[in-house]
Amino acid sequence: MLFKHRRRNGFTLIELLVVIAIIAILIALLLPAVQQAREAARRSSCKNNIKQIGIAMHNYHDVHNTLPPGYLDDDPTANVTNHNLLGWGTFILPYIEQSALYNSIAEVGALDNNWTTISEMTTASATVPTPYSKVVLKAYICPSDPMGGINSDVGNYGKSNYTGVAGNTYRSSGSTRPTGSFYDNSNVRFRDYRDGLSNTIIIGERGTEGTKNGTIWIGNYSDGAYYTQNAITSASAYYGINGTAGSWNFTSSHTGGCHFLMGDGAVRFLSENIDLTTYRDLGYIADGNVVELP
């Protein structure tokens, strides 16, 4: 007797399970690579943001023969009378293709008065649909940072992930000035960098991950919030890169460290394990110490 063999269609259960297992393994191998590629792109974009800030700083210096102030305050010692509290992020707006925004801020009087007291700056209305202080500027945002464009930790104003290097302290005390580049009423010139522009960090990252607070681009939202516009470089681990103690130190969502802008316009990625003495000296503009860059 002859038997006819039927042609089998489809897979057996075991074959199907093997295929699914192979696909799962491939996905498990591929996913980290995709995530790494995306983070590499975000990191590159962040680096480019800082590079553009560096170009803006140099253009500002070419025009004004000084870097912009960290922020403006009439009387930082008495802590009584504020000027406009606007920070360097506002003053370089014309140099990052945001002249219209800068002119709008000027037109409502924020250059001549405390910007937080001007309703057009902070409160939406029928005539001012977008308060200027809440404008989200991609040029000031690191794509890797988890918070959106509004800083919910700092007054709900437009977020920035980049802050100035103040050096040994946040602001002036009497006639004593901080040792870095940006602080209250600072007017640091390139000729003041006796340690060399290429040996000095002037801008660094400040993220919002975990307990970190980031910053805002427009300036200080109160006289007591002077620490929002700059950060300290110190030999103390408390102020270290990505340190767990301080909420206002230099930090980022990049693995292992932060991007920093050098005085000459170069961008360097500094490890969170950098020697703390070297880190401190990089933030000082004229301490005379020899710095060996990692």
Mapped to the 3 state alphabet, what secondary structure does 20-43 carry?
Answer: HHHHHHHHHHHHHHHHHHHHHHHH
Mean pLDDT to the nearest integer, 89-101: 96
| Every domain of the chain and the residues it spans | 20-283
Dihedral of CA atoms 65, 71, 74, 79 in degrees, nearest 10, equals -150
Measure the CA–CA gap between 66 and 219, rounded to whole angstroms: 18
Measure the CA–CA gap between 187 and 185, rounded to whole angstroms: 6
Task: Please name the amino acid found at residue 56.
Answer: A
Sheet holding 162-167, edge to edge: 230-232, 162-167, 201-205, 257-262, 267-271
Mean pLDDT to the nearest integer, 141-165: 95
Q: Is the pLDDT of residue 197 over 90?
A: yes
Q: Is the pLDDT of residue 66 over 90?
A: yes
Provide the 10 A C-beta neighbour count for residue 130.
12
Instruction: Please give the share of the chain, as a percent, with pLDDT higher than 70.
Output: 88
Q: Write down how long the chain is.
A: 294
What is the pTM assigned to this prediction?
A: 0.85
| 202: confidence class by pLDDT, cuts 50, 70, 90 | very high
Kindly state the tokens that stand for 255. Answer: 């693995």
What confidence score (pLDDT) does residue 70 get? 95
| 26: confidence class by pLDDT, cuts 50, 70, 90 | confident
Q: Is the pLDDT of residue 34 over 70?
A: no
